[in-house]
Amino acid sequence: MRIGIVGARREEQGIGQFVARDLAALGGDVVAIVGTREETVAAAAAELKRLYGLEVGGYRSVEAMLAREELDAVAICSPQQFHAEQMQAALSHKVHVLCEKPLVFTPGADNVAAARPLVEGFAEAGLILMVNQQWPYTLRAFDQCWPSARTKPVRQLEMLLAPAEDGPGMIPNAMPHVLSLLLACVPTGGRMESPRIQRPAAGRLDVKFDYVHAAGRTSVQGWFIQAARQPRPAGYAINGCTVRRTIRMPDYAMFLETGCQGLSAIAQGGPELVVTAATADSGEIVQRAPLEDPLRLLLADFISRCNAGTAPGVDPALLDNVRLLDALYSAAGHAIA
């Protein structure tokens, strides 16, 4: 596969550099990148060559890259306001797309109306469209920690995340991860009821809602605690069975682990406890499962689907995620105002 990367610099929270690295390691031929300015494109290309030995052509727009390069796929790692336009360009040139989350998002807009023709267009063209939502790829490790938790219907889902920003911006930053995990565990096509959003302190947002679906009702709780530095803590609980993602430094080995401290206690403890909970030497560990890098698992899945060459059809979870995200962002704005 010949692949282009949109947004390949490691600037602020960008992951394009890591996506390029892992796609190449998985057998993809990363041949081109897109950036906003000539100097940033040159800097990104030099960094990819220095770190990973990648030789890439540099472009200032997706259209210019697609017109010049014969590509099979594009990874869109640019800011969210550019996603729709860049996906449309990729669709016009009949290439597969992996897009950073959220798929599309403009505050106050009807983002489902913007996303639907793209999702349906890729399906009709027999092309893969995936979003970089990694948490469903941790469920295998979760099942090692809690073998029986998902043998029952999922009635409760809780998640703790630590986005870098504060306020309503936490919703498009962090909520797609919660929603992707939810929609991996219960049927799509449900409805949201009783959204309850609070901002108990600066740098924190608490989100609750019920998701009513074909298999019943699932109570969803999200705790978002602002954390400016890496590694950022994260964890989730399914039917009361809790795991935390911990990271062992300096080799950056990842684990899911259970322990005596639940997500609620960590969230109530504030930013200091949240940051401490990210390291693998905190608290009493009951069970620990090695966690293969979920980004690499997602990218391997993307390459596998592209190589399969079969028409995927419309993935309803893509539009459900956008629909629920819109509703929660609106509720967050009202709550904070």
Domain boundary assignment for the chain: 2-100, 135-295
Model confidence at 276: pLDDT above 90: no
Using an 8 Å Cβ cutoff, are 167 and 198 in contact? no
Per the model's pLDDT, the better-predicted residue between 324 and 10 turns out to be: 324
Per the model's pLDDT, the better-predicted residue between 108 and 211 turns out to be: 211
pLDDT, average across residues 161-180: 92
pLDDT, average across residues 238-264: 85
When pLDDT is cut at 50, 70 and 90, the band that residue 279 belongs to is: low
Per the model's pLDDT, the better-predicted residue between 207 and 261 turns out to be: 207
Model confidence at 33: pLDDT above 70: yes
| pTM of the shown model | 0.92
Model confidence at 152: pLDDT above 70: yes
Model confidence at 233: pLDDT above 90: no
b/e per residue 136-165 (b: at least 16 CB within 10 A): bbbbebbbebbeebeeeebeebbbbbbbbe
Residue 299 token pair: 């990218």
Angle at 27 between CA 25 and CA 31, to 5 degrees: 90
For 109-144, write each residue's pLDDT tens digit.
999 999 999 999 999 999 999 999 999 999 999 999
Most confident of 7-11, 309-313, 318-322: 318-322
Q: Using CA atoms, how far apart are residues 154 and 236, in angstroms rounded to an integer?
A: 13
Per the model's pLDDT, the better-predicted residue between 249 and 180 turns out to be: 180
Model confidence at 70: pLDDT above 90: yes
Using an 8 Å Cβ cutoff, are 103 and 321 in contact? yes
Supply the angle between the helices 170-185 and 316-336 in degrees, to the nearest 10: 140
Model confidence at 94: pLDDT above 90: yes
Using an 8 Å Cβ cutoff, are 305 and 312 in contact? yes
When pLDDT is cut at 50, 70 and 90, the band that residue 309 belongs to is: confident
Supply the angle between the helices 16-25 and 38-52 in degrees, to the nearest 10: 40
Model confidence at 336: pLDDT above 90: no
Across 236-240, 277-281, 330-334, least confident range: 277-281
pLDDT in the model for residue 277: 56
Dihedral sign (CA 103, 35, 173, 2): positive
Model confidence at 12: pLDDT above 70: no
CB atoms within 10 A of CB 298: 21
pLDDT in the model for residue 283: 52
Strand pairing class (29-34; 2-6): parallel
Model confidence at 159: pLDDT above 90: yes
CATH class assigned to 2-100:
alpha beta
